[in-house]
A = this chain, B = another copy of it.
Amino acid sequence: MEIPQKEDIIKQFPQFEQSLLDDILAHSAIREVEEGEEVMRTGQYIRSTVLLLSGLLKVYREDDEGNEFLMYYLEPGSACAMSMMCTARDEQSQIMAKAVTEAEVILIPSHLSEQWLAKYKSWHNFVIASYRQRFEELLQTLDSIAFKGLDERLLFYLKRHVKVSGKEIRLSHQQIALELNSSREVISRLLKKLEQTGAITLHRNYIEVHDLEVV
């Protein structure tokens, strides 16, 4: 654990008021997370609100048979909405969060983030905005699962990936299949089709995205 640096926090959370920043500095810790490390597990008790300072987290759901699907990505400057909600009553996490890249998260003790809701207007707004944003992303994910075929879901997935980490998608087909709760062969075939339209080029262990909108 490190002491957070004020400048880093300001850069990612410019909307926070001075006194809130001071409070964060005084009472919270930074945790450095390695690539692939789990930040949160289903069933784990949550005693801190999690803010992301750097890196990229994926938030996903896992069932009892080890199947998973991606809910959304968290980028620096955002918060894990679940950690805020559970916070309120010391409850268990419903989700998994894993670092996609090396990352730094700020851990704010639950009772403080709770108090701050009343104390700091900017904190309150941030929390409400986070809820709303995650809710919307979740709805989008839900839509794509409920209404779309796997081909469209894959497209949606690739687009989302491009948005958070650029046009070189460094994933194996296997990993993609896992996040979409599908199987490698099926994903391979669909990617192949996409390649034939010219939208992407396939390589070993990465996908080069040209233009996903034309498809």
- Contacting B at CB under 8 A, from A127-149, are 128-129, 131-132, 135-136, 138-139, 141-143, 145-147
Residues of chain B with a CB closer than 8 A to A31's CB: none
Name the prevailing secondary structure of the A interface residues.
helix
How many copies the complex holds: the figure is 2
The size bracket of the interface on A is 20 to 34
Nearest B residue to A134, CB-CB: B135
A63–B147 touching, CB < 8 Å: yes
Judged by a CB distance under 8 angstroms, whether A205 is at the interface is: no
A124–B117 touching, CB < 8 Å: yes
- With known contacts A138-B138, A146-B69, A146-B181, A132–B85 Cβ distance under 8 A: yes
Closest chain-B Cβ to A113's Cβ sits at a distance in Å of 11
Judged by a CB distance under 8 angstroms, whether A162 is at the interface is: no
- With known contacts A118-B118, A139-B94, A141-B142, A128–B63 Cβ distance under 8 A: no
Judged by a CB distance under 8 angstroms, whether A187 is at the interface is: no
Judged by a CB distance under 8 angstroms, whether A88 is at the interface is: yes
- Contacting B at CB under 8 A, from A120-172, are 124-125, 128-129, 131-132, 135-136, 138-139, 141-143, 145-147
Closest 7 CB pairs of A and B: A85-B132, A63-B147, A69-B146, A88-B128, A145-B145, A142-B142, A131-B131
